[in-house]
Amino acid sequence: MSKTVLVPIADGVEEIETVSVIDVLRRAGAVVTVASVGDGLQIKASRGVNLVADQHIRDCANQTYDLIAIPGGMPGAENLRDSPELTDLLKKQKQEQRYHAAICAAPAVVFQAHGLISGKATCHPNFANQLPNQDDINSRVVIDGMCVTSRGPGTALEFALKLVEILYGQHKMEEVADPMLAKL
């Protein structure tokens, strides 16, 4: 059964984190919607790569997703944090006990700013002091209930594969990871 995933993007998001999540989840069979929180569908990522969204975030407002996955990068995480439409979607996601995930700066800049972290989490070391619970700050991927967080570009593939495992199970995760030569 296909799972639905929303990956919001904004100017300044981190390329590796964004594309890894989109690519790996699509390999698993997820229906991934890439939504821009900016004025247009095309954004310029943190290292100058242009990414094109499938639709605008306002067109996602009445949709339900199995997972919303937030890339990091600066100022991308700030741009995502400042989107009222995305904030509403994220709060609804948490309230309905659906998966929400963030990597790099996004756990601190987006999730913490909107009260979406209630327990353990990790993020990029430059933002770790913003998280109230420091117990798992050095972990590569942290799962706390329906909230999944990760550290940065170097953990992006592991993060994406963990999202596959959460949505589809270990067998599907291994099925996706093996041809990619990903070691877990």
Annotation marks residue 60 as catalytic: no
**Other CB atoms closer than 10 Å to residue 11's CB: what's the count?**
21
Maximum CA extent, the chain: 40
Per the listing, tokens 């954004």 go with 43
C-alpha dist (Å) from residue 86 to 77, 79, 171: 12, 10, 32
Amino acid at 174: E
Active-site pick, 60, 104, 123, 147: 104
Which bin fits 14, alpha (ψ -120 to 50), beta or left (φ > 0)?
beta
Please state whether beta strands 141-144 and 147-150 pair in parallel, antiparallel, or not at all (unpaired).
Answer: antiparallel
User: Cα–Cα distance between 51 and 4 in angstroms, integer?
Assistant: 20
Active site members: 104
